[in-house]
Structure 1
Amino acid sequence: MGVVTRAKKRMLDEESSNPQLAPRGGEDLISCLPDDFLISIITILPGKDAARTQMLSWWWRLLWKSAPLNLEAMVDSSTMGKDVITIDTVLQAYRGRVRRFSLSWTLDYNHFFIVDYLLGSPQLCKF
C-alpha cells in the first residue's frame, strides 16, 4: 500500500469532483488543449524535436505540418549536392509557413548561386 501525500489526496479529490480532470484510458491531457496552443508548442521546439511530435498521433502530424517552420540548414562543400537537395525537398514538401530560415555554408563565392537558389524558393515567400 502506497503513501498518499496531501498533494496526491488533493488531486484525487479534484478528479472525483471534476471528471474531466481524471485521466481517461491512457489519454493525455495535453492533446485536449486548443490547436493554437499546440502549434505554439511545436513552433518553439528545436526542429528535430518538433518533427518528432508527428510520432505522437495522426493529429500531431497535421499540427506539425501546419505549424510555422524553423529551419536551420548547413551546406558543406563536401556534401553540397546532397545538402541542397535535402533543403529544397523540405521546403517544397512543407505546406505551412516558414517562420525562420537560417542558412550556414562553407562554400566559396563561386557557389553563391546555390544560396541565391535556396533563398529564392517560393516557399520562403509565404506569409
Structure 2
Amino acid sequence: MALDVRRGHDAAHAASRFIDGVIPVGEAWNRAISSGVAAANPYRAIPAGQVNLWGDDAYHGSVYGYYLEALTIFGSVTGGDPRSLGAGDAIAREIGIDAHTAAALQGIAAKQLASKKILEAALP
C-alpha cells in the first residue's frame, strides 16, 4: 500500500509547482519490515526482537511507527542524518523506545533517505 500512496504523491508532485518533494515515510516502514526490525503483520503475534509499527487499532501508528515517521521527516526537512540523534535520543527514551530500537529505526530512516537521494540523482 505504501508504494500505491507514493505513486499518488509523485503524481501530485509532478502536477504542481507548489509541491517540492515527497518524504518517503511509507517506504521507510516497508524497509523496517523487510529488514526484520518491524513485524509485517499487526494482526499476528509480534516476533521476538521486532517492533510493531501499528497502534492497537492496527490502522494508526504506534510509538515506533510515529518515531520512524518523525525520523524520516526530520532527515528530509533538515538534510541531517537521523542517526545523529544517537541511540540515547531523549525523545525515544521519553516515549519508551529503548536505545537499541531507537538506533535501528534511525538507521532505517537514514538508509531510506540515502536511497531517495540516489534515486533523485538518477532522474533527469
Q: TM-score under structure 1 normalisation?
A: 0.27
Give the alignment's TM-score, normalised by structure 2: 0.27
* Structure with the higher fraction of residues in strand conformation: 1
**Greater C-alpha Rg:** 1
